[in-house]
Amino acid sequence: MRLDRRKALLVAERDFRDAAGDLRLALAMAGLAIVIPIAAGSGIRALVLFGGGLSDLVERVSIVGAFFVVFLPASYSLVLALESFVGERERATLEVLLSTSLKEAEIYVGKVASVLAISLFLCFGALLVYCAVTFPGLGYFPLGVLVSLGVSTICQVAAMVAGAVIVSANARTMRAANVMASFIILPMSIVLQVEAALILVGRGELLWGFAAAMAVGAFILLRMGLGGFSREALLSRDAGTKGRLRRAKRALADAYGKAPGGLTLIRARLVPILASLLAFPVGAGLGYLAAGVLPGRVVGPVLSSVLAAAGRPDPASLALAVFLHNLLAIVVAGLLAAVTLGLTGYLLTALPGALVGYAAAVSSWSLALTGILPNGLIEIPVAAIAGGLAIHIGASAIHMEPDGGWTRRLLGAQAELAKALLWLVPLLAIGALLEAYAAQLPR
């Protein structure tokens, strides 16, 4: 989508001026970028002064302090991003903006750019203040970790802003936007805790991996927002709705009724099904390679529990346990497919493949492959079909168009998996019975 950068910058300048012109917002931003870093840096220096001098623990705590000092202003970007469209709707200024000759891409990019500029200015301003207070005179400066932290922050802020602007463009009220923002805050909180744990254990170099993942997420979200932004849809979105429950029931019934089934469904989703099936040998290769890295004391208890379960004297109870386990895996993969962008569809086949590869590394390929027969001839294709449908759900979640229909397409993809379960469940039961009774045969 082509756009005039000058016009997009005009929209960004307008939003930047509105945010900086509010005294309360300016004071809040100053507190995040100046007061908190000074307090955190002073705490680190006090720890060095009264805690016996510089130590490895103090060094790691100082890096964690820099991490949280940077992320606090980044969290403020959510407020600005959520307010970008739905806030203008409530202030009755949205119609004025959308009535201009600006293109949809120019409006959207300008909104995203203004929030990104303010957020990154606060983040790196806070980091500079923290470094100026904390590190002079300590005898060390963790330049490598701070650079990776800066790059990771840029990617995280971009992902948060991109997601929050999508929420703002599709929410009817500011209250609804704040509720929907929890789907952004919770994953980012988990990422924050994992990154802080990596820093504490001295593996700050792994922040580059999180930066790469956040960069991919930001790109996908920005593409979704640009692809699905439409001023007509934004103006026609009313604040009040009636008959939500009735419309939801009708939408679910229509999605289930229009979903294909059987061989028609397999032909329609052949590409994602083959992609899920390909994940099995890929997982097997990774499991084979991991056998030389993972110590036996880590995998030993897991394998022991699996062997103990497989050696149950009652084949019926083992078949029931295997059936419920496989069914639960497919249901969870389908429920999480939209959130994980289809990653769970690959895991349905990659994880069993990894177990086979690991078993082959500690024994032999012939023994490992024989161990999944004959039940694997049914369970692996079933997992590939369910995984392919989960991948399609993830693809539907990241596909947005200006004329809308995102909810309809996502419900349709989920309805395909629900309809497929009608004939996948009996196959799972047959595979579980084969696995249970094959386990009783002498090897």
Per residue in 153-180, pLDDT (tens digit) is 888 888 888 888 888 887 778 887 887 7
Q: Note whether residue 327 is domain-resident.
A: yes
Burial 24-41 (b: 16+ CB within 10 A, else e): ebeeebeebbeebbbebb
Q: Note whether residue 443 is domain-resident.
A: no
**What tens digit of pLDDT does each residue of 360-381 get?**
888 888 877 877 878 888 999 9
pTM score, whole prediction: 0.70
pLDDT greater than 70 at residue 303 = no
Q: The domain containing residue 176 runs over which residues?
A: 5-236
Residues 34 and 178 occupy one common structural domain: yes
In angstroms, how far is the first alpha carbon of the chain from the final one?
Answer: 62
CA distances from 144 to 81, 153, 203, 247 (A): 30, 14, 12, 54
Instruction: Write down the pLDDT at residue 388.
Output: 93
Q: Of the candidates 182, 175, 166, 184, which has an alpha carbon nearest to the alpha carbon of residue 234?
A: 166
pLDDT greater than 70 at residue 130 = yes
Mean pLDDT across the stretch 132-142? 83
Residues 46 and 164 occupy one common structural domain: yes
Residues 211 and 299 occupy one common structural domain: no
Residues 287 and 254 occupy one common structural domain: yes
Residues 279 and 157 occupy one common structural domain: no
Q: Note whether residue 210 is domain-resident.
A: yes
Residues 296 and 218 occupy one common structural domain: no
pLDDT greater than 90 at residue 382 = yes
81 Cβ neighbours under 8 A, 6+ residues apart: 112, 115, 160, 161, 164, 165, 167, 168
Mean pLDDT across the stretch 51-69? 79
Residues 114 and 263 occupy one common structural domain: no
Indicate the helix (H) or strand (E) that contains 92.
none
pLDDT greater than 90 at residue 273 = yes
Instruction: Write down the pLDDT at residue 309.
Output: 47
Residues 201 and 249 occupy one common structural domain: no
Question: Could you tell me which residue, 70 or 53, shows the higher pLDDT?
Answer: 70
pLDDT greater than 90 at residue 425 = yes
Residues 164 and 254 occupy one common structural domain: no
Question: Could you tell me which residue, 207 or 110, shows the higher pLDDT?
Answer: 110
Residues 206 and 265 occupy one common structural domain: no
Residues 13 and 88 occupy one common structural domain: yes
Q: Note whether residue 278 is domain-resident.
A: yes
Residues 158 and 258 occupy one common structural domain: no
Instruction: Write down the pLDDT at residue 426.
Output: 93
Total structural domains in the chain? 2
Instruction: Write down the pLDDT at residue 239.
Output: 46
Among 197, 214, 236, the domain-final residue is 236
pLDDT greater than 60 at residue 331 = yes
